[in-house]
Structure 1
């Protein structure tokens, strides 16, 4: 059995078709800071959350790379974060952002689709 105290965090790999466009999106719209970039890889942080972007060839069938990707970022104040990000989020095409709302399972969330269709959840316990 692994000692749980040795585990620090989950930092998902998010596939993208254009690394520079995806880095710009996460910085401009979601408030992440890039800490490292080389070739087809970038590592970004927002508070305690980390994210690894990996540029890959587009899917042969034409589906967006993020089509089946999603991840959840736990926050302390979902409405406060949404208010901070809202000016940039308002510039995204219709259907890419879902404003904060309460879930039946006791979370308050907002959702954003990234440049390649990955669904990013931001949420907190009610």
Structure 2
């Protein structure tokens, strides 16, 4: 196997409603739209060190329903304040909780049904 350096991981997720995805991430989660195609078939969203790309279904990526078998886990330095600001504006998977493995976290679903977990070390 060739030796290489991996420099960054940026999830590329599919959305069947790009306008709502843009609205959810910018208005609710306070991401910024770093770049997008004019027809909104692709966009990149950023929040501090986090970057996520979204695309519309196309010939290379044509999944009937937006799915992901896991979640996106976002570490933060203010999980309690973030929970307070989001809990009434999102579909909740589980509320803010302290876990035995040393994390305080909660999870929500985005407009596509993707699971987003937010956590902070205790």
Interval containing the TM-score (normalised by the shorter chain): 0.7 to 0.9
Q: Which structure 1 residue ranges, 5 or more long, are not aligned?
A: none
Corresponding residue of 2:22: 23
Give how far 1:80 is off: 2.1
Aligned to 1:66: 67
Residue 78 to residue 105, structure 1, CA distance change in 2 (3 Å): same
TM-score, normalisation: structure 1: 0.76
Paired residues in the alignment total 113
- Alignment partner of 1:117 out of 113, 117, 122: 113
Deviation string 1:20-77 (CA, Å, 9 cap, x unpaired) is 1111111122111111111411101111111111122551xxxx41353521111112
Q: 1:51 maps to which residue?
A: 52
Deviation of 1:101 after TM superposition, in Å, equals 0.9
Q: TM-score, normalised by structure 2?
A: 0.79
Gaps of 5+ in 2: none
Q: Residue 67 of structure 1 contacts residue 118 of structure 1 at CA under 8 Å; is this kept in 2?
A: yes
Aligned to 2:10: 11
RMSD value, Cα: 2.1
